[in-house]
Every structure is written in structure tokens, then in C-alpha cells.
């Protein structure tokens, strides 16, 4: 499991807004047409880095049911209070938004707008820095 490549995205994740995920609208698209999401290259690079990081947990629904997580506020509270003992919770939350976004475009948008991606990767870096003895950050 490598979070180093994910940490490179922290500055971007910290300032990313919904503009990182937007619907296509251009010439010839009418109100009767179906719009589809267009993602920034930075978001797509982050998603790809997550997928190859070894952090993805396909059983993330179990994390949500075991912890009774239902809202973004609950997710944020769990992320902020997480320690190394809750590493599986952090992986589960990140997995929900990365893997779930492959089938529901709203997940990637929520991961950005609700700061879930940023908070999760920040907390993972904080935990690994502490255990690596690098507490300068």
C-alpha cells in the first residue's frame, strides 16, 4: 500500500471545487439531450493512482454498515478522529468514492465537493508520517 503518489494530489484536492467535475455542454447540445460528466485530467489521474495504490477495499459497504455511516458529516467525523486502528475505515471511505464513482458519477463529484478525498488522504499521510517518525508536517 502506497500513499505517496496520492499525497502528491493534496494541494490540488485542497483547492478543487465542483469545477473539477462538470457536465458537458457545447455546440449542438439541447435541453432534450442527455448530458454526461466530463472530468478534469487531475481528477482522473488521482482516481487512477487510488486504484493502483493497494488501498481499495471492494467490501467498503461492510465498513459503512458496521459503523452505521449514513451522512457526509459522519464520514468527516470518522476521518478526522481516525488513528492507525481505523485504517480500514479510511480505506473503506476512500474506496466508496473511488470505486463507486465508476458506476455513479455523483460519487466523484461528492468526493471533491464534500472534501472526502482531501480529508482521507490527509489523514492517511498524517498517520503514516507519525509512524515513520516524520512529524514535521
Per-residue confidence in pLDDT tens, the chain, 137 aa: 588 899 999 999 998 877 766 665 666 666 666 767 788 889 999 999 999 999 999 999 999 999 999 999 999 999 999 999 999 999 999 999 999 999 987 899 899 999 999 999 999 999 998 877 765 54
Alpha carbon distance 53, 40 (integer Å): 20
Answer whether residue 55 is part of any domain.
yes
Q: What is the pTM of this model?
A: 0.86
CA angle 41, 42, 45 (to 5 degrees): 85
Is the residue at 31 inside a domain?
Answer: no
What is the total count of domains within the chain? 1
In a domain, 105, yes or no: yes
Of 119, 105, 121, 126, the C-alpha closest to 44 is 105
Residue 29 in domain: no
Q: What's the domain range around 99?
A: 4-24+36-132
Amino acid at each position: 500500500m502506497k500513499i505517496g503518489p496520492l499525497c502528491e494530489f493534496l494541494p490540488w484536492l485542497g483547492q478543487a471545487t465542483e469545477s473539477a467535475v462538470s457536465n458537458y455542454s457545447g455546440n449542438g447540445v439541447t435541453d432534450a439531450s442527455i448530458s454526461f460528466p466530463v472530468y478534469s485530467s487531475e481528477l482522473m489521474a488521482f482516481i487512477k493512482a487510488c486504484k493502483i495504490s493497494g488501498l481499495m477495499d471492494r467490501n467498503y459497504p461492510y465498513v459503512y454498515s458496521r459503523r452505521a455511516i449514513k451522512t457526509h458529516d459522519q464520514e468527516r467525523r470518522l476521518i478526522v478522529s481516525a488513528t492507525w486502528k481505523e485504517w480500514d475505515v479510511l480505506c473503506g471511505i476512500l474506496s466508496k468514492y473511488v470505486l463507486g464513482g465508476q458506476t455513479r458519477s455523483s460519487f466523484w463529484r461528492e468526493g471533491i465537493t464534500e472534501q472526502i478525498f482531501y480529508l482521507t488522504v490527509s489523514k492517511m499521510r498524517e498517520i503514516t508520517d507519525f509512524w515513520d517518525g516524520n512529524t514535521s508536517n
